[in-house]
Structure 1
């Protein structure tokens, strides 16, 4: 009896967990394939939500998906571990040691064999080798980093209140992550004022620094202008065309000036994990992303696919690769889930075609903005306010529905609403 095809998905972010879920339901349950999902974290969080976890305005326990339980429900296997390398000749993924927070080894280095490998390891901010950034700045690229930031943030707030001094925060990078995190910090302290010091919000002194000429450079200028005006109305200082040269314990340096800060966040740039640079001879770009063709296969190995932020695909007729967004990752995972089973049967893979449904950015409860993309009756239009906020919330509910189905996703939403009525609005401990 022939062994089932071994499909290994490295990375459980938006694209990875969605693909694993769909392939597990289609192929894993029936035994047609052995679907394995690898991730270094035991839980999945929808990445566009990380800024709310960092600020403490959402309950992380309620939002996370436990890989082990999810795998059991959807006909796949979850393996904990951090991908460190690849042996394409033997078709093996190399995993590093798994350690406790204290450093004790739980699992030794291992290899996992595959017939088909899908790399979906996501991305992280790019410090571009800037002096002092790694040593002094926080990154918000994973659940662990977001939770660690929240602990430090609450300690700084406590000190600010106890010593009656300002809380100086500086964020580099005015893309969606930097802008949304900044707004969420303001909301956190507004809500926090209800539980203690009424002047807590007024203590926040936040500076947002952007190397480019405007905030939210991926959005139309109209949205950039409106978002900057909203941030300034909240009381933030927005510094565009400001190239940071270094960071130290005092803050960020630029052109001989210093932006002083007690808490610094780096949210600029995008790159794949460093080890992926020229991974096993596969073609990569300067950001360590794997270069793929229109079938989402890497250009030098048909049995290695890449989707989501760790992949670079330049569609025919386009000058630039697709952006590293949740929308692109979701569509690529859905495309591969639909066509990979047929490819395993010897049928050709169709080309992936990205459909731009627009983009949304939410400035917490203050405002939201979005574009309607290049499809539909109102193509190219701009929405704002409540409509954009509902659209932003709907994207997350759609992700939950894709992972859990209508019934469970509805129960999760209901539980979240009930929890919001009986629990504090922000994380206090």
Structure 2
């Protein structure tokens, strides 16, 4: 996949696919959000309903490019160049036959059936694109999630989130700056010469655990280069802070215990049953005692739906600002509005539970809606979404991968580790790319990434 512009500096796009039509008789489907679910759904619908002339598909996103969020921890640690893993929405639209509109979704008019996209401005504040309204017959909200700070004082100001490529780049840049500063202090023998670089990761879910492992690998790799030549053990203190009793609380105790041992092998300090009470510029305060020194703090402890969902015209959301949907993925407030992925509270079963915000949930919901919206356009009854858990894998860098795999053929999840777990972990991303671009482009992208890792440094230093 070709390298492309970074999100913040790229040219805004307003692009249409090969089969754009202004025929009012054609069903108009607007999808807001180009993540795992939204982009996958737009691509499938364009190839089926769009090519058949039965629907016009429009994808809306505030950024010009797509990046697979499960790779953010690798981008943040500098082990992956996000520019080589981003997919341009304009290119995807042209290849598959849907329309792309760049802009930030801001309002919904259910009566007139249109949404509003805010005006787009450049770095100097000049307007690039005006505010626009897009009409729809079916609206799909696939907007992902934002960081939930739970009202902790100072968290939003001093703890970085990890929601986007821009956040990953901010963390990576801050890490390099801290290493440069610390290395200079060692050489100059200043008063800070013996003070380790303190990195506090708040939240020990899959994102926090994978980031902790990736950062430990990164500081080991940085030791090879003279501007950053710190001792990867003595000169760094990486803490993983969790308010619950164990890391990976959503997974089994067996996986959690194994994960904690692997983190220990990597030199990551795990503080469980520790609630963060305040985040300051230079310290993290907890209910466990003395302040924890902090050069970098990053928050991976919780998510919520985008705040704009609370402002929509008569649309019901839960306390986490997630769209309340039926098992058909239709909003409980409006049958013309659907929700998928992290921004939707989808019933897990008839007992009242809800599906966790995970990439595989969004992927399966996109597959489901690609079929269900064909029924809607044809005037047929909608089916109900049924989630099938395929398991969870968590990567620990050089320590390997662990997790569980599930299947309808298995009576219970199977614990996996070693080469099998690592291979499946890598194949999940390749499957995602193949879904969007086809087998041939995925194979070429895989080969290009393999070559890049052999001719470029393993870590980004700029």
TM-score (norm 1): 0.96
Query: For the aligned residues, what is the CA RMSD?
Result: 1.5
Q: 1:181 aligns with which of 211, 221, 232?
A: 211
Question: Which one is further off, 368-377 or 121-130?
Answer: 368-377
Q: How many residues align?
A: 429
Distance (Å, rounded) in 2 between the aligned partners of 1:226 and 1:351: 37
The question of whether the paired residues in 1 share the 8 Å contact of 2:200 and 2:241 is answered with yes
- 1:225 counterpart residue number: 257
> 2:268 corresponds to which residue?
236
Deviations 1:44-102 (A, max 9, x none): 11110111111110121111101111111110111111112211111111222322244
Contact persistence 1:278–1:288 (CA under 8 A): no
Unpaired runs of 5+ residues, structure 1, are none
Distance in 1 (alpha carbons) for counterparts of 2:124 and 2:250 = 40
- 1:201 matched residue in structure 2: 232
2:259 alignment partner, SS class: helix
Q: Which residue of 2 aligns with 1:118?
A: 140
SS of equivalent residue, structure 1 residue 135: helix
Counterparts of residues 250-261 of structure 1 (less than 5 Å): 250-255=282-287, 256-261=289-294
Report if the CA contact (8 A) 1:161-1:200 is conserved. no
Q: Distance in 1 between matches of 2:78 and 2:245?
A: 30
Determine which of 310, 315, 322 is the counterpart of 2:343.
Answer: 310
Q: Please, which moves more after superposition, 273-282 or 262-271?
A: 273-282
Q: In the alignment, is residue 341 of structure 1 matched against residue 374 of structure 2?
A: yes
Please tell me whether residue 28 in structure 1 is matched to residue 50 in structure 2: yes
Residue from 234, 249, 254 that aligns with 2:281 = 249
1:46 maps to 68
- The superposition leaves residues 362-402 of structure 1 with CA deviations (integer Å, 9 ceiling, x where unpaired) of 11221211112353237321111222111111110110010
Q: Secondary structure at the match of 2:355?
A: coil
Name the CA distance, whole Å, in 2 between partners of 1:356 and 1:178: 21
CA distance in 2, matches of 1:104, 1:173: 39
SS of the equivalent of 2:458 reads coil
Which of 122, 131, 136 pairs up with 2:158?
136
Out of 134, 138, 156, the residue aligned to residue 178 of structure 2 is 156
Aligned counterpart for 1:263 among listed residues 296, 308, 319? 296
The CA distance in 1 between the partners of 2:231 and 2:119, in whole Å, is 43
Q: By how many angstroms is 1:139 displaced? A: 0.6
- Paired with 2:396 and 2:142, the residues of 1 have a C-alpha distance of 28
Contact 1:314/1:321 (8 A) holds in 2: yes
Moved more, 155-164 or 178-187: 155-164
Tell me the secondary structure at the aligned position of residue 277 of structure 1. helix
Residue 10 of structure 2 corresponds to: none
Work out whether residues 255 and 403 of structure 2, in 8 Å CA contact, stay in contact via their aligned partners in 1.
yes
CA contact (8 A) 2:114 2:135 kept: yes
**Residue 71 of structure 1 pairs with residue 71 of structure 2:** no
Normalised by the length of structure 2, the TM-score is: 0.90
**What is the alpha-carbon distance in structure 2 between the residues aligned to residue 285 and residue 39 of structure 1?**
23
Superposed CA offset, 1:107-148 (max 9, x none): 232221111100000012210121101111111111221122
Unaligned runs of 5+ in 2: 1-22, 187-192
Contact in 1 for aligned 2:59/2:99 (Cα 8 Å):
yes
Does residue 168 (structure 1) correspond to residue 198 (structure 2)? The answer is: yes
Note the alpha carbon deviations across 1:237-271, whole angstroms, 9 max, x for none. 11011111111112211125311110010111120
Cα 1:358/1:301, change in 2 over 3 Å = same
Structure 1 stretch 284-293 or stretch 190-199: which is displaced more?
190-199
**Alignment match, 2:406:** 373
1:326 aligns with 2:359: yes
- Check conservation: 1:44, 1:67, Cα contact below 8 A: yes
Task: Decide which moves more: 309-318 or 240-249.
Answer: 309-318
Q: In 2, distance between residues paired with 1:28 and 1:200? A: 57
Aligned to 1:392: 425
Partners in 1 of 2:456 and 2:351 — Cα distance? 49
Look up the SS of the partner of 1:365 in the other structure.
helix
Q: Does structure 2 conserve the Cα–Cα contact (< 8 Å) formed by 1:211 and 1:243?
A: yes
1:14-58 deviations in Å (ceiling 9; x for gaps)? 000000111111122343221111111111111101111111101
Q: What is the rounded CA distance, in whole Å, between the counterparts of 1:364 and 1:319 in structure 2? A: 37
Aligned to 1:283: 316
- The separation in 2 between residues aligned to 1:9 and 1:124, in whole angstroms, is 18
| 2:216–2:268 Cα contact (<8 Å) kept | no
